Structure 1
Amino acid sequence: MRIALLGTGFGQAHAAAYAARGDVEVVMFGRNPAKTAEAADRFGFASSTDMDRAFEDDFDLVDICLPLPLHAEYTLRALAAGKHALVELPLAQTMDDARRVAEAAESSSRHVFVDMFERFIPANRALFDAVRAGTYGRLEQLTLRNQTAHLWPGVSLGLRVLPLEAMHSDLDIITRTLGRPERVEVATVARDGSSAAVEAVFRFDGALARASVSSLMPMAWGARGGYTATFSEGVLESVSTMGFDGRPSGTVTAYTAGGVGELEVEPADQYATMIDHVLACLRGEAVNEIAPASVLDALQLTLDVEQQINGSVVR
């Protein structure tokens, strides 16, 4: 399978997953010739600065790891060229663009995937399974935590970008388990233009959720996160840590009237698992779990939070 990987920044997380496989041929595309060649060489890929080639040559999949304003445009371009597309999250900067991509994907014979990688983290899948099966009764309260140092040089995690860059995946967990909230309340603090924290509370009929994200942590902290899910008949708690490789490690613990027990969850690299899923879908071996239509509620909620923080009207 031939893959055009667009972007040499976060695209390297995808590149690492492809490089570990023996069934793909990847060309890495970027704007800076030296930077693109250096990144591609690191993974044993060919490189190119001719972005048009990605849509003209016989690539099966266009993997879009470009800046957010280009996500919708390049995804639609891939579909128009008859290519499958994998786009880094968020799907788009506005709901109009997101719906446009979702509609194009649904009417196309090509697949579009959105990199909702947190859906493939085993601890999160344990939560989804518990909610779906009613293992611990009804979900009444969900608290999500995401605290990180500046692990990626040059990447701003300031107040203006935190919702779309750092909260979106957690808000996807909320919409997948509790749906769309009736009310959203947001509080913030900013140290400077690159470091800040957001606390958001989401009110539902008979349930409450909270998402906390912070980029105020010192480098020694690394990145830590997890959730506490309180059900009518028990509690699930996930604790995770993450370093520069983007691969979390952690535990999931269940607390019930019968006592305390650690759940067995398989260790997994969520990016590699996401790539596995994409390629399995393209081979006809799986059903797309990260199609554009499935991310619209989470994107709308993220933009609602962004609007409260930045005062911009985003719909």
Structure 2
Amino acid sequence: MKIALLGTGFGQAHAAVYAARDDVEVVMFGRDPDKTAKAAGRFGFASGTDVEAAFEDDSFDLVDICLPIGLHAPFALRALEAGKHVLVELPLAGDLAAARRVTEAAARGDRHVFVDMFERFIPANQVLLDAVDQGTYGRLEQLTLWNLTAHLWPGASLGLKVLPLEAMHSDMDLITRTLGLPRDVTVTTVARDGDSAAVEATFAFDGAIARSSVSSLMPKPWGARGGYTATFEGGVLDAASTMGFDGKPTGTVTACTADGARELPLPPADQYTAMIGHVLDVLRGEAENRIAPDSVLDALRLTLDVDREVNGPR
């Protein structure tokens, strides 16, 4: 499998996963030749600055797009037109119309489009989704999601302009997959400066409420921590995870019912490794696509609703 990896920023997170595999060949593309060569060299990859090669070179099977959000949909459409499979860093697009164009183009052709909904590969989140689908504890009544992080990615802003689309999208996916779309959204914010802020969003449903709390106000030794508390009619699931400087998460889920509390066993998993492994499994015909573009539209719609409350119309 030959992969054109577009982007030297967050693209390095994908590069680290590819570098640990022996079944892919990767070329990393960026605008700055020195920066691109340095980033690619860290992983033993070739590099280039002519992004047109990603679409025109017939040897590339997959185009992995880790570029600014405004380029996600146009580059995905370009890759599909060139007959390539596509992996797009989240969100799929900066507006619903563009996301729908990608979804429709994927449906018309025989190339796969994947959206990096990495949180779908976190074992603790699968526990929540299974409990909702199977009615293990009855109806879900309250869902609280939290994600508090330090600045672990040099040069990346985590201010109000980017938090909704780049940090809350995964929460919106969990909310829409468990409760659907809300009838009301309320958002409050605080900003330390242009790069550090916090957003609290609450969502009202018929017979249920949800909340998403995201912050980049934490000191660096904090790392990144998150989790959820899901309250059902007949019990509670409480999840917590940490991610240190190595990027390897740890997590626990505790189930609490009238009979007591117990920690549920979770398989070890690195969500980015699992996501890319799933992409390659699908392309080999060994799995069905779990992160196709049509499956992310509700989450994107809710994410854009929150973004409008925070930043106004874009």
Give the TM bin, normalised by the shorter chain.
over 0.9
> Which position in structure 2 is the counterpart of 1:7?
7
> Which position in structure 2 is the counterpart of 1:84?
85
> Which position in structure 2 is the counterpart of 1:35?
35
Structure 2 counterpart of 1:146, which letter? N
Structure 1 counterpart of 2:90, which letter? L
> Which position in structure 1 is the counterpart of 2:173?
172
Task: Give me the TM-score of the superposition, normalised by structure 1.
Answer: 0.98
Q: What SS does structure 1 have at the residue aligned with 2:23?
A: coil
CA distance in 1, matches of 2:72, 2:82: 15
Q: What SS does structure 2 have at the residue aligned with 1:153?
A: coil
Tell me which stretches of 4 or more aligned residues in structure 1 moved more than 4 Å. none
**What whole-Å deviation, never above 9, does each CA across 1:140-198 have from its counterpart, x for those lacking one?**
10000011111111111111211001111111110011110010011111111111111
**Structure 1 34/302 Cα, relative in aligned 2: closer, same or farther at 3 Å?**
same
Q: What SS does structure 1 have at the residue aligned with 2:280?
A: helix
> Which position in structure 2 is the counterpart of 1:247?
248
Structure 2 counterpart of 1:200, which letter? A
Q: CA deviation at 1:248?
A: 1.6
Structure 1 counterpart of 2:307, which letter? E
Contact 1:142 1:208 in 2 (8 A): yes
**Structure 1 215/16 Cα, relative in aligned 2: closer, same or farther at 3 Å?**
same
CA distance in 2, matches of 1:199, 1:6: 32
> Which position in structure 1 is the counterpart of 2:266?
265
**What whole-Å deviation, never above 9, does each CA across 1:73-95 have from its counterpart, x for those lacking one?**
10000000000000000000111
Matches within 5 A, 1:1-80: 1-57=1-57, 58-80=59-81
> Which position in structure 2 is the counterpart of 1:147?
148
Structure 1 counterpart of 2:245, which letter? F
Identity of aligned residues (%): 74
Q: CA deviation at 1:211?
A: 0.2
> Which position in structure 2 is the counterpart of 1:223?
224
CA distance in 2, matches of 1:171, 1:197: 16
> Which position in structure 1 is the counterpart of 2:102?
101
Unaligned runs of 5+ in 2: none
- Aligned pair count reads 313
Q: CA RMSD in A?
A: 0.9
Structure 1 counterpart of 2:20, which letter? A
Q: What SS does structure 2 have at the residue aligned with 1:309?
A: helix
Structure 2 counterpart of 1:207, which letter? A
Contact 1:152 1:244 in 2 (8 A): no
CA distance in 1, matches of 2:220, 2:44: 30
Q: What SS does structure 2 have at the residue aligned with 1:272?
A: helix
Structure 2 counterpart of 1:46, which letter? A
**Structure 1 245/68 Cα, relative in aligned 2: closer, same or farther at 3 Å?**
farther
Structure 2 counterpart of 1:22, which letter? D
CA distance in 1, matches of 2:207, 2:71: 39
Q: CA deviation at 1:256?
A: 0.9
**What whole-Å deviation, never above 9, does each CA across 1:232-266 have from its counterpart, x for those lacking one?**
11100101111234332121110011111111111
Contact 1:236 1:255 in 2 (8 A): yes
Structure 2 counterpart of 1:33, which letter? P
Q: What SS does structure 2 have at the residue aligned with 1:50?
A: coil
> Which position in structure 2 is the counterpart of 1:203?
204
Unaligned runs of 5+ in 1: none
CA distance in 1, matches of 2:40, 2:83: 25
Q: CA deviation at 1:48?
A: 0.9
Structure 1 residue 289 and structure 2 residue 290: aligned?
yes
**What whole-Å deviation, never above 9, does each CA across 1:79-118 have from its counterpart, x for those lacking one?**
0000000000000011110111111111110000000001
CA distance in 1, matches of 2:286, 2:223: 37
> Which position in structure 1 is the counterpart of 2:279?
278
Q: What SS does structure 2 have at the residue aligned with 1:209?
A: strand
Matches within 5 A, 1:174-189: 174-189=175-190
Structure 1 residue 309 and structure 2 residue 281: aligned?
no
> Which position in structure 2 is the counterpart of 1:124?
125
Q: CA deviation at 1:137?
A: 1.0
Structure 1 residue 212 and structure 2 residue 224: aligned?
no
> Which position in structure 2 is the counterpart of 1:161?
162
> Which position in structure 2 is the counterpart of 1:190?
191
CA distance in 2, matches of 1:171, 1:45: 34
